[in-house]
Structure 1
Amino acid sequence: MEEQNTKLYAVLNLSPEASDEEIRKTYRQCAQVYHPDKYQSSPMKLIATDNFQRVSEAYEILSDPNKRKVYDIYGMEGLISGLELGPVLNKAEEVKEIKAELKRLKRWKENEKMAAAYFQSSGTILANVSLPRCLHGDGLFSRMEMTSQIKSWLSKRSVVTIGGNLEVDRGKGGGAASAVLNHQLSKVSSIEFMASAGLRALIGVRASRQFSSQSSAAMGLSMSLKNGSLKLSSSCTRRLSKTTNGHIQLRLGSQSSVALRLEKNDQRRSATGQIEGIFWRFKLYRRSQKLIIPILLTTHLNPVFATGALVVPASFYFFLKKLFINPYYRKRNKQKALEKEEKISAQILERRAAAEKAHKLQQNVANRKRNRQLKMGGLVIIKALYGNDTILKNLYSSREASFESTLGVIDVTTPLNFLVDDSGQLKLHEGVKKSGIMGFCDPCPGNCELLLYVEYAYASDQYKVLVGDYEELLIPHDTHMI
């Protein structure tokens, strides 16, 4: 059972299987200690009011059969959301209904995940910058294009993509809407049907096949709906090395062309070369959105210019990263770590203060029980510490009784003496996180495993025990004798 589903049981120190009578009995005992009417001074009344509110909330939920069932399954979120399980049923029907409800919730969450995975949107903004055109007074941008698409899986092997694009190229603009259906024929081959409307209205089909892990090829045929012209395209891709690919593309039709492209990619850098000129290409990614700015530096292949185009941005990026980017991220991460540490420290101080206030309410009853057990030779808690597992394991294995450090642990001697029953026994229940017990708190949230260390005396003998956060503690017990 998760922590949030047992926190209320910890407040009353009850087992999740506790009966209604045990819940009522424990609540009456707690009310005698935590009720604000039991105190005269204003500070103690305020402390009692806060603690009694926790006790009352726990009792209100656990004493109501329907609310308790909802809490056991869904936690406080289920109660806040108003979830219900219907009328009280017999045990077999109740178990069956709970299982069915859990299956329904699981299916609902899986469907949500599938819907998110099977429905994706993406967009790209492409802005071609040409320095030669700018120097000739023809403008800085030679071409701009915006595309957006939505992809949805019809089945495990079929996907449909609907999108559109707007394009401006050398003063001429246009747009188109398209739909593409891709079907996976096998592990190595697929076929694609497409149709578009707009300035480039056409229909087409494209088939692709992967011949090996190193090479693949594709062939397509399209027909223009405006003039009926046909266009045949063929491409081949070959993996030249672990990070380098080569591409050859042939187009036959009204505008025939041949293109050769080399592409190099690794985790941090990418480079592309083709017979068009020397480019700088900048890319910005934000989730599924892309901004691409290719800058044409020159249409002529000049080795010196090409070397400079490669070295200058790489050197600039190196110095920029060394002098500004890395120091900025180090400073930001350090600031975030400091803010997180301050936030956790404030939470710990607040929780410790709340636990100490509960100790004040428990003190009188704890002292009376301790004195009575001393006279009877019964159970007396000498020392109890809750918190960091490393600290408490070292203390448990050490023969020295002294303990000075308060970091990472909290003293819970008073709460445990308070919880000793009239028969001289103390029981903390299995499956209930101990930080929720009145007078306890988590002194090191998220940093370590939590343990409870207890030293106690019984019948003039000394005992000590170390238990996990969710483990049962039942004392006195012979195995704990020192």
Structure 2
Amino acid sequence: MIKKLDMLITYSRRTCARIFLISESPVHTVMELSEELEEDFYTFLNVSRTAPQEDITNAYRRLSRIYHPDKHTDPLRKKEAEVLFNKTKRAYEVLSDAHKRAIYDNLGTKGLETEGWEIVQRTKTPQEIREEYERLAQQKEEHRLHQRTNPKGSVTVSIDATELFTTYEDAYDEYESRIIPSIEVKGMSFSQSVEAPLTLKDTAFMSGQLSTHKGQGSGSVNVSLRRLTSAEGYAEVEMGFGSGLSFSAKGFRNLTKRIFTNMSGIVTFADRGIVLGFVSTLAHQLDKNTVGYLTYKTSGQSSMTTMLVRDTHRYRSQASIVLGVPHSYLSLSYCHKLEKHDGRLRGAIKAGTFGALVEYGLERKVSEHSSLAVAMSVGVPTGVMLKIKVSRGNQIYNFPIHLCEEVLPSPIFYGTVTPMIAWIFVRRLIVEPYVQQQKAKDIERHRAMHHSQMLERRREAEIAIDLMKETYRRIVEDEENRKGLIISKSVYGRWLDLNHRDHSDTLTDVTIPLQCLVKDSKLILHDASKSQLPGFYDPCMGEDKSLYVQYSFHGVPHEVTIQDSDTLRIPKQSHRKQP
């Protein structure tokens, strides 16, 4: 049973992240390569995933009129039609049966093929099937948690490069005597943490920090235990060793659907005596994208903070006011999300009793697991600082470089322009070639793995088109008589090659199968890969694909190009060719 459970969860089409808040959501690459080519019954019947029974039945009848063996007299054609008719029948049997459809929606065809699984019982309702699946997934998740440590770490190297732009008169003699200005590492810090899930409710954490600055160092080790007290909150206790022994207690609680709070108290036994600290935050979700926070902190330094955060799919903005000892200040920040380029533009301003600070920068995703962020910080009395952050998995590397102790144009200019030029060279010479090389290797590996299946599907598509020809001629004749929708040309494949005839290996003509999907002068394709539509196949597996359609409606020429997984509805006025 355990082996069977592992196989079911491994082939699950819905990750446990949709069931458990504690599971991770991996960042997907442009191309996701599965270990097996999964059949998509919805696309094959050209119905949506929420299609009612009537639509499924109508789609089945439409394909049956093309593929039914009794429609063909030639023995070879009859045999070929029988294969496609059985595939059509299989898709209909699964999607028209509520029990099988529930299993297929959760587990794909692997769930249907697994024999002896307890949930495949006629006595269970579709809802009970989903609940059983979630229970088995929960067992799998608990087993995975026991094996996970989720290590996280950061390294910070503080660099003093002020001699590059020094203007101090008393330093001229020493500076002129040096051929190369001195650049020093003035401080370093390391931190590392691991977690040890004990149960689905209990998790132990261990973390350590070590830092050194101008020859003086310090460090600490912390051990904590967190328990989920309910679906609404958790409690955590922590003990630390470093500058002194410390004990702390933390708690989080959802008060309502829109209000939550967390509190923490700490007791530290230091050389100067016992130090008490307390932090409390009350948060209120004002709308779908906006949350307000009110935080009170007291220890050696006390403060009251009011913060407003708005986070959407396009941007994140934050405004906060801090009233405290020894400093009070106002800060505003804005982050624009560049989804198309996997990047973020950041800007922030901060002003108060300590002085003023302006910061701007850019964060860019380099690869699937790596990102690079560069920011310029200009302030009084801090001066000019260049901040570089490299993230790789759960590891973060920070390099704050102090360029100048005064606000001068030259360090601001060079600190802004130099990283941009360096990134262009690194991206062109290292990053892009590496990413393209890895992508090409993945594509070749995937094609080699599924070579026989690709040939089989191509042959199946060719047979389907041959069987469609009679239906195609009838539909074209009907549409011509009513001056309706006629597909004059349609090509499917790698989008870069759609306008080139010398790339037949990455393009396929789908004019006939697309015309056969026309009903009452309308054609609707749903938001899924078109490669599994009847008469289609994938001519360039692993690469971006598009569908080009040239058609006429009421005698007026139209054309449109869509990405592989986009929805298509024709005819549309916006598709008309300009005279």
Q: TM-score, normalised by structure 1?
A: 0.49
Q: Per chain length, whose mean CA-contact separation is higher, i.e. which structure has more relative contact order (CA < 8 Å, sep 6+)?
A: 1
Rg larger for: 1
More helix by share: 1
